[in-house]
Amino acid sequence: AQTVTQSQPEMSVQEAETVTLSCTYDTSESDYYLFWYKQPPSRQMILVIRQEAYKQQNATENRFSVNFQKAAKSFSLKISDSQLGDAAMYFCAYRSHNSGNTPLVFGKGTRLSVIA
Amino acid sequence: KAGVTQTPRYLIKTRGQQVTLSCSPISGHRSVSWYQQTPGQGLQFLFEYFSETQRNKGNFPGRFSGRQFSNSRSEMNVSTLELGDSALYLCASSGGQGANIQYFGAGTRLSVL
């Protein structure tokens, strides 16, 4: 079974600075998806960024980018120019790319605080 | 396009009762998945429905059940509630070209007293 580990329960960053959230995963599969979701106090899980394992190029979405190291099974999220609205729980998630619909496997999350 | 809608937002029940939660997916999405979120266990997969059929199931007791209707709306039911069932229940839908992405609702917060 796949597992996802987020080793930083809490992180903080100054407004306008850069922060990196860590995520490692364990799988024997070669084809899969990786995601970062953000959950603000409103509770709605919002997709931040996704990465397809067969793509070597790291995904970017505006201020959000990932460092995907397939051999090391590492998938970190970098947030640049942090804003107060970035404060939330961040979850790293894994999904197999098998036929049919497979569930997301989540890490325990990292709570990010943004200091004004 | 409307997002995933979950009702109700909050529920308070007592032990032994049963509860039904509802989820309306994004229009055109045929897959609906349910997750339980607790501080101790984190996010755990309950089950997934596609075209009215349960396609995948997590490791939860039979007290947890679900169904999906022809319009893709889904309900989950928990019978004989226990204190440990207190959690945030999240529904996610996926479909179309972005079928590998799950879009979540705001959840239903269930408190069992």
pLDDT value of position B98:
67
Measured in whole angstroms, the distance separating CA B54 from the mean position of its chain's CA atoms is 12
Nearest CA to B40 among B3, B77, B85?
B85
List A37's β-bridge partners, or say none. A47, A91
- For residue A32, list its beta bridge partners: A96
- Is pLDDT of A99 > 70? no
Instruction: Give A 18-37 residues with CB within 8 A of chain B.
Output: 33, 35, 37
Q: Strand A88-96 relative to strand A24-26: parallel, antiparallel, unpaired?
A: unpaired
CA–CA dist B10, A92 (Å, integer) = 26
Computed over every residue of chain A, the mean pLDDT equals 94
Q: What pLDDT does residue A43 have?
A: 87
Q: What is the mean pLDDT of each run of 10 residues along chain B (113 residues)?
A: 91 97 95 95 95 93 96 96 97 82 95 97
**Which residues of B fall within a CB distance of 8 Å from A46?**
104
Q: What would the two tokens of residue A83 be?
A: 């804003």
- Interchain proximity B105–A108, CB inside 8 Å: no
pLDDT, tens digit (0-9, with 9 covering 90-100), for A46-90? 999 999 998 889 999 999 999 999 999 999 999 999 999 999 999
Chain A contacts of B60, Cβ < 8 Å?
none
Tokens of A13: 């960053």
- Rounded to 5 degrees, what are φ and ψ at A67? -115, 100
Distance CA B6, CA B3 (A): 10
φ/ψ bin of B80: left (φ > 0), alpha (ψ from -120 to 50), beta (otherwise)? left
